[in-house]
Amino acid sequence: MFSGTKGPGEAEAMDGTNLRVLIVHARWNTSLVTPLVEGARKKLQERGVKASNIITQSVPGSWELPIAVQRLYSASQVQASSAPSGDLLGGLGRSSTPVPGASSSSKGTFDAIIAIGVLIKGDTAHFEHIAESVSRGLMRVQLDFGVPVIFGLLTVLNEEQARKRAGLTFDGYNHGEDWGDAAAEMGAKRKL
């Protein structure tokens, strides 16, 4: 965890034993997204979340994160309240995921969701449109559905900034770990 002035401070000790967490990540900039996902997964397991209760799904890019978060959460709610059914993904269709050991099916609802993507500014306004819309979309899903959606969208000006925040440089640290801590804390508090 970041020990400087910034950052969330010491995470509250939360027991993640009974939590089920969904990680939805973009496949754009995979070499940067994968360490972020792995950092989040590592922290979740350090907080006691069972590996089998960490469900990972991927989408093409960050633009698709809000709809995937909404659809996967809705599907899990249906599944949690009815007989075991088949594909959690519903109409999303199965997508490969580059994170080793990831699983793409689940039984039951989610206590927290982490949405992960890396947006790197180009020389057009495309970046701003995606960043603004995805941010608003993820906030809307968490408030509409009452489930914590951890904001794991890196919006950076260049690849070096992303590498630093993915813990890939000597002076960086992996923001995915903070997102894992936040998911464990918010998921546990949701059960209080």
Q: For ligand INI, which is the closer residue by CB, 29 or 34?
A: 29
Catalytic residue among 25, 126, 129, 175: 126
Q: Which two tokens stand for residue 108?
A: 């039951």
User: Residues in contact with ligand INI, total (CB under 6 A)?
Assistant: 15
Q: Based on DSSP, count helices (H) and strands (E) in the chain, helices before strands.
A: 5, 4
Q: Which of 57, 61, 56 is nearest to 42 (CA)?
A: 56
Q: Which of 1, 11, 89, 120 binds ligand INI (CB under 6 A)?
A: 120
* Pairing mode, strands 21-26 and 112-120: parallel
The least distance separating ligand INI from the CB of residue 77, rounded to whole angstroms, comes to 25
Query: Residue 101 to residues 1, 59, 128: CA-CA distances in angstroms?
Result: 24, 17, 33
* Binding flag, residue 131, ligand INI (CB under 6 A): no
**Distance from C-alpha of 142 to C-alpha of 139, rounded to nearest angstrom:** 5
The closest residue (CB) to ligand INI is 61
Known catalytic residue at 126: yes
* Binding flag, residue 64, ligand INI (CB under 6 A): yes
**Distance from C-alpha of 43 to C-alpha of 55, rounded to nearest angstrom:** 14
Q: Which of 23, 114, 130, 184 binds ligand INI (CB under 6 A)?
A: 130
Q: At what angle do helices 30-46 and 175-190 cross, to 10 degrees?
A: 50
Where does this chain touch ligand INI (CB under 6 A) — which range of 40-48, 77-85, 115-123, 141-149? 115-123
Q: Which of 14, 58, 63, 154 binds ligand INI (CB under 6 A)?
A: 63
Q: For ligand INI, which is the closer residue by CB, 14 or 102?
A: 102
Q: For ligand INI, which is the closer residue by CB, 126 or 136?
A: 126
* Strand, coil or helix: 119: strand
8 A C-beta contact, residue 98 and residue 78: no
* Binding flag, residue 34, ligand INI (CB under 6 A): no
| Residues forming the site for ligand INI (CB under 6 A) | 26, 28-29, 60-64, 117-120, 122, 126, 130
What are the catalytic residues? 126
